[in-house]
Structure 1
């Protein structure tokens, strides 16, 4: 006993030391690492570098421009997931990159044409003399490129392993067959990077570029080859340091809102769960500083979508503790001791926590691997948060709670007991909820063609998707972002006859210039919107418009395609996982349909309220995508458990109603804590964050509604053939089995 108490004391001391250490590192850092202020911030929160290129080609198509934009985005992705790349009028392409520490390296990568060619000796001579030549192969014939370290007798060699397409493999076989004993030159961007002698015909579709100075150089070369050559020739014409699109105050207000929100969560958790709630609060504090530390160490760029990922992971961290502690209260209600209840509580909650977090982690990994830009940034922060939240809930909270119990904190009053679950017939009311939801979604989507006819567009697409007009104006003094939004934006909105919400502002560091991006303005004639804006800025503010261009959306069609495909793939993999874990395809189908229901309901808000559909909308949808599936898993986990307790004869209606009544308090507590955090963000945040927070709050409410009123009944109707089949045992035997094997508990 003394040994156990001594161990428990050391566990508590170690926990407090780790907590204090993580707080210290986050606040003060260790050297130049770890400090929260060193976390890389995106364009929306900090600003960065804006560089504009001019297209040098005379004849090119819109497809060439879009392909070039996509490949530039892919190149920047190797440095940072957060960026904007878009076309301007008069043959220009602009790239905006967060921060300036890696600016030189990124600019160097962007300037590379990426043109790869294989030349036989005859064509090499023509190429070296500047004459017209025909390459044996080009970058289009490359299927893959990977950097490797090739160990030889003379030492390690940094190489790029190339694999060819089917057509490329045949071309390579032909050129090597015809040139045995001769040199084949590999030319990259006008320089010979390798000149191997052909020993024999190579027909397996592989080649190697060797003798590269460093592995980093080989990896960079492989990346650029994989992405391919830029379709257009670009020349840099200007670069500027630009300010944050959300303003510097967005960071400080968001931090304050986050602190207040977390304090509110602490109060709720302690009031509801008492001692376990206090432990959860301390663990959540450790979790918060750990996620900041990990983001710093791995140089993750934080943006508004990334912030959404953190909010979601905080909600899931709270949710895991709520599930565990309500299970403990259930065990105490059966008369079990505190020690037995704590052990059983963690054991019984394990499957729900693992399944809920694994399904969300699957989504995060798929979005991180296949998504780009905003999608990838969201996925990275979410994945980090999920791993840390599971660790703090299942390891840290459990160790600390067991230590307190060992030290004698065993009075039931410090834990509380669960109340008897309600008797609400959710299955009966579920069909009406499902019908009502379908009607709301159908009616909402029916407004899209109406708005398309009456307002010119089905959705209120932001500049991210629709593009617009960029106006650069020089003023007689420097304006901060908040001053520009207050004093200048209303002038532009009034002159152009557009909403202030359709105007974004970026300051240019070291100058009095400000860049305004709006929905597309008319430019022709003395009565055009652009003419009116130019005149208003001059007359009212003494400003001079130095540049104006129409710009494309920063979210290219390829990025949008990647987003939809990655979300669809994530949904399919989540469906497969749920089917495997629950051994019933109906669980998987019901979960994905409920997920689609939640996303569609929120999207209806964007349609009806004409909210701006852009990168913020994507972040919101992805957050709901991850949040809702977790709530659904909790209900399904309890249904699975009650089915196992029901024996051979099952009354599915009773099981579903019992399961929802048992988990309803969990859904309410989790939704409440998440809602409070986002509500504080809504109250204190800047304008752009308010819209984001508003839709997230709606998503939390809709997610809670669907997990209580839609998911369980939907599964029931699938299980019973929409009421056409009778339950295996429609009545008393099943109810008695469930109630005998498991005391009705409220989660």
Structure 2
């Protein structure tokens, strides 16, 4: 079997595999779990038996139900309606009765010894709260427990019999704390310490209160509701994705020629394999999930761009095509692995620490990264080797990189710093003005701020298109042009539920009159209730902690890989720059901030860190080659940025194309999400080229000056 025949079989094998995964993914596309925004689901409203529950009881119950509802879907939403009602929306579910039966059961809290014997239950606990002690100038976070009369006696007996042993606090069969008993405790009060942080103490205390709550729920109503974005959202998103990928393929073919063809085939395989894995892992796909897919597509293309740039450089140095391909993959490997592993670390942390939409984003991103690595490092390489063996040996087919013009980025770095500083300071000024004028730094939408939920029973069944065209404008007119209105149909009825910002009495009256006049229905068929935000305080805290830990882990990884804290600190500052620029956009244009804001920021973080690592990889290579000693630090940095400039521009273009298509062809909520994402992509390109490298240069220069100063002072002595 000759080499050419083997290559032909190899090419056919990849093409057949690509076709198979695409067909398999397409045939089973309906099996991909979709979120409430894309597919609808079950909506249940509970009412407390006690007509006047406390705010703390309601808050704890919402959090408890959020944790339980997420066993059905990470995208489940739980929020208050009025003073004693709680709504739960679960995507993809159809059996409201089964969900009602399980969610309505209170959580079970038990205190058990090391042998599993139950010592106390939630009925014995009066309350629990987080606190802080300060003994000998040492701060400690603690959980304060208060037991009722019966519980105090049981707890005293339990601690007396378990001195030196652990007592396990178990909620729904999961150990949430296992404090060691130091002595017998009487009086009905106890504290658990030390706890890592106040947030951790508060979370455990909240869970203990949940298990101890006497609040009971009864079903008020349950419905199967349609997709909040409408069926057209899926069609338009698929159309946008298809056009975006087609344009990316065209761009790669025009710029990179034969390697562009290889990457295009690999990209199509990526899409098919991604769809299959989304089904296999039962990932719930929502708007933030789509963001994760977009980012991983960008990273898949980016890996190929890095490789092809290296191949062009090798050809420009006079190497044969075979040697150029081999060297190109070898030299690109470190940048690709570092960029993807860093983002994968972030995805893992976000999945483990995050909740709701953050988990959906992390799941699709992690799957996408693994698939993109496989397609870029193995499939693209196999295709290029097959093309070569089949006779594609002309360097012109691969493109030959001309000598790179070294741009003096270091010389103009202060101007770049100033431009970025002006934008960011303007952003902070806008946040202050927004706070002063509206009471909020951002234009929060329903997910964060809550609002009003209006249920209308029409005389006939309206389509979502009719709702958008005939009903939504009435809400916007009544609320002074509020664009945050969200509509959903109740399956099997003529009911439509529309959520808006909180409406005043006058606005409600105006709305009711408009609806009655236009649709000739009576006022009793229009019911409005105030609702809380779907993104709870705990979910916001989870998201912030997840992002903080993810950034910290990325910093540690970069520090270890590059063996220099200055690389890590520069990359994190560049990342913070991109987040702040995006925040400036939200503040300046009063762009709606909802649950998708979190996904947008996470996407920008992943994109930014990947772009920066590519530049730092070249700087590291120049250091290893001795360029710093030969030509100076300034030249080494300028050369690294100049050599990666084409990659930075091309990757930004391909990712921007995909997101722009979503903006152009998507529904309003998708446009609201994609616009700030485009701002983040542009900012990421700017910071990776003009900010990150120069920052590292300044840190190194400052460190060098400090060392020289210290040595000079030492020599004087």
Question: Would you call these one fold, judging by a TM-score over 0.5?
Answer: yes
Q: Are residue 628 (structure 1) and residue 583 (structure 2) matched?
A: no
Partner Cα distance (1:49, 1:557) in 2? 23
In structure 2, the CA distance between the partners of 1:498 and 1:667, relative to structure 1 (3 Å rule), is same
State the 1:42 CA deviation: 0.6
C-alpha distance in 2 between matches for 1:362 and 1:111: 37
Equivalent in 694, 701, 712 of residue 693 of structure 2? 712
* Cα pair distance change 1:647/1:627, threshold 3 Å: closer
Please state whether the residue corresponding to 2:655 is helix, strand or coil. helix
In the other structure, the counterpart of 2:531 is 551
Aligned twin of 1:584:
564
Contact 1:114 1:225 in 2 (8 A): no
Distance 2:392 2:706 in 1: 51
* TM superposition shift of 1:105: 5.0
1:590-605 → structure 2 map (5 Å cutoff): 590-605=570-585
The answer as to 2:59 corresponding to 1:62 is no
- 2:671 is aligned with 1:694: no
* Contact residue 351 and residue 363 of structure 2 kept, 8 A: yes
Instruction: Determine the structure 2 residue equivalent to 1:341.
Output: 324
Contact 2:96/2:223 (CA < 8 Å) preserved in 1? no
1:74: which partner in 2? 67
| Offset of residue 727 of structure 1 | 11
Tell me, in whole angstroms, the C-alpha distance in 2 between the residues paired with 1:319 and 1:226.
47
Note the alpha carbon deviations across 1:230-274, whole angstroms, 9 max, x for none: 733211110011111111100001101111111111111111111
| Displacement of 1:448 | 1.9
Q: 1:418 to 1:139 in 2, by over 3 A?
A: farther
How far did 1:366 drift? 0.6
Q: How far does residue 103 in structure 1 lie from its aligned partner after superposition?
A: 5.2
Q: Once structures 1 and 2 are overlaid, which stretch shifts more, 633-642 or 506-515?
A: 506-515
Q: CA deviation at 1:137?
A: 6.7
Provide closer, same or farther for how the CA distance between residues 396 and 228 of structure 1 changes in structure 2, counting only shifts above 3 A: farther
CA distance in 2, matches of 1:424, 1:115: 66
Q: Relative to structure 2, which stretch is displaced further, 582-591 or 418-427?
A: 418-427
Q: 1:425 aligns with which of 408, 413, 417?
A: 408
CA displacement at 1:203 relative to structure 2: 8.4
Contact persistence 1:308–1:620 (CA under 8 A): yes
Q: 1:172 to 1:340 in 2, by over 3 A?
A: farther
Distance 2:619 2:646 in 1: 16
Question: What residue is the counterpart of 2:469 in the other structure?
Answer: 486
2:7 paired with 1:8: yes
How far has the Cα of 1:722 moved from its partner? 8.5
Superposition pairs for residues 555-570 of structure 1, below 5 Å? 555-570=535-550
Q: 1:395 to 1:493 in 2, by over 3 A?
A: same
Selected match of 1:530 from 504, 508, 513: 508
**Cα distance change of structure 1 residues 334 and 104 upon mapping to structure 2, 3 Å threshold:** farther
Cα drift, residue 225 of structure 1? 9.1
Higher mean C-alpha displacement, 90-99 vs 644-653: 644-653
Q: Describe the superposition over 1:57-81 as per-residue Cα deviations: whole angstroms up to 9, x where unpaired.
A: 3553222212211121111222211
Q: Structure 1 residues 401, 108: closer, same or farther in 2, change over 3 A?
A: farther
Determine if contact 1:71/1:230 at 8 Å carries over to the other structure.
no
Task: Tell me: CA distance 1:101–1:647, structure 2 relative to 1, closer, same or farther (3 Å).
Answer: same
**1:507 equivalenced with 2:489 (yes/no):** yes
- Number of the residue aligned with 2:34: 41
Match of 2:425 in 1: 442
Q: What corresponds to 1:148 in structure 2?
A: none
Q: Tell me which moved more, 633-642 or 438-447.
A: 438-447
CA distance in 2, matches of 1:706, 1:550: 43
Closer/same/farther in 2, CA of residues 435 and 311 from structure 1, 3 Å limit: same
The CA deviation string for residues 388-440 of structure 1, in whole angstroms up to 9 with x for no partner, is: 00011011111221222223221111101112112211112122111221221
Measured in 1, the distance between the counterparts of 2:445 and 2:212 equals 27
Structure 1 gaps, min length 5: 29-34, 128-132, 142-164, 180-185, 194-201, 206-223, 729-747
Q: Which moved more, 1:643-652 or 1:457-466?
A: 643-652
Structure 1 residue aligned with 2:372, among 379, 385, 389? 389
Alignment of structure 1 residues 445-464 onto 2, 5 Å: 445-464=428-447
Hey, what's the Cα distance between the residues in 1 that align with 2:386 and 2:6?
8
Structure 1 residue 652, shift from structure 2 partner: 1.4
Which whole-Å CA distance do the structure 2 matches of 1:92 and 1:166 have between them? 29
* Per-residue deviation, 1:8: 2.9
> Could you tell me how far 1:517 is from its partner in structure 2?
0.8
Contact 1:421 1:661 in 2 (8 A): yes
- Indicate conservation of the 8 Å contact 1:318/1:670, yes or no: yes
Compared CA separation, residues 697 and 397, structure 1 to 2 (3 A): same
1:84 corresponds to 2:58: no
- When residues 251 and 398 of structure 1 are mapped into structure 2, their CA distance, relative to the original with a 3 A threshold, is same
Distance 1:537 1:665, change over 3 A: same
Trace 1:214-225 onto structure 2 (pairs within 5 A): none
8 A Cα contact 2:344 2:366, kept in partner: yes
1:285 and 2:268 aligned: yes
User: Does 2:16 align with 1:17?
Assistant: yes
1:196 corresponds to = none
Measure the CA separation in 2 of the matches of 1:309 and 1:435: 32
Distance 1:611 1:666 in 2: 31
CA distance in structure 2 between the aligned counterparts of 1:496 and 1:134, rounded to whole angstroms: 49
Per the alignment, residue 248 of structure 1 pairs with: 231
1:332-384 Cα deviation digits (max 9, x unpaired): 00000111010000000000000000111111111111100011111111011
Residues 40 and 225, structure 2, Cα contact 8 Å, conserved in 1 = yes
Q: Distance in 1 between matches of 2:170 and 2:209?
A: 17
Output one character per residue of 1:616-659: Cα deviation in whole Å (capped at 9) or x when no partner.
21121111111111000000000100111126726111111101
Question: Equivalents in 2 of 1:19, 1:46: separation in Å?
Answer: 28
TM-score with structure 2 setting the length: 0.85
SS of residue matched to 1:469: strand
Query: 3-state SS of the aligned residue for 1:599?
Result: helix
The 8 Å contact of residues 288 and 599 in structure 2, kept in 1 or not, is answered as yes
Evaluate the alpha carbon distance shift between residue 315 and residue 250 of structure 1 in structure 2; reply closer, same or farther with a 3 A threshold: same
Separation in structure 2 between the aligned mates of residue 268 and residue 372 of structure 1, nearest angstrom: 37
Contact 2:35–2:286 (8 Å) recurs in 1: yes
| Structure 2: tracts of 5 or more residues without a match | 129-142, 163-168, 174-179, 184-205, 710-717
> Larger deviation: 571-580 or 448-457?
448-457
Q: Is the 8 A contact 1:464 1:615 kept in 2?
A: yes
Is the contact between residue 352 and residue 634 of structure 1 (CA under 8 Å) also seen in structure 2? Answer: yes
Where do 1:106-185 residues align within 5 Å?
A: 106-117=99-110, 174-175=157-158
Query: Could you state the TM-score of these two structures normalised by the residue count of structure 1?
Result: 0.82
CA distance in 2 between partners of 1:656 and 1:370 (Å): 37
Which of residues 222, 238, 244 in structure 2 aligns to 1:261?
244
Distance 2:92 2:473 in 1: 29
Matches of 2:111 and 2:595, distance apart in 1: 41
SS of aligned partner of 2:443: coil
Q: Distance in 2 between matches of 1:243 and 1:187?
A: 38
Q: State the match for 2:633 in structure 1.
A: 652
Would the aligned equivalents of 2:32 and 2:284 in 1 still touch at CA under 8 Å? Answer: yes
- The one of 362, 371, 384 equivalent to 1:401 is 384
Cα 1:139/1:329, change in 2 over 3 Å: farther
Equivalence for 2:201: none
The answer on 1:94 being equivalent to 2:87 is yes
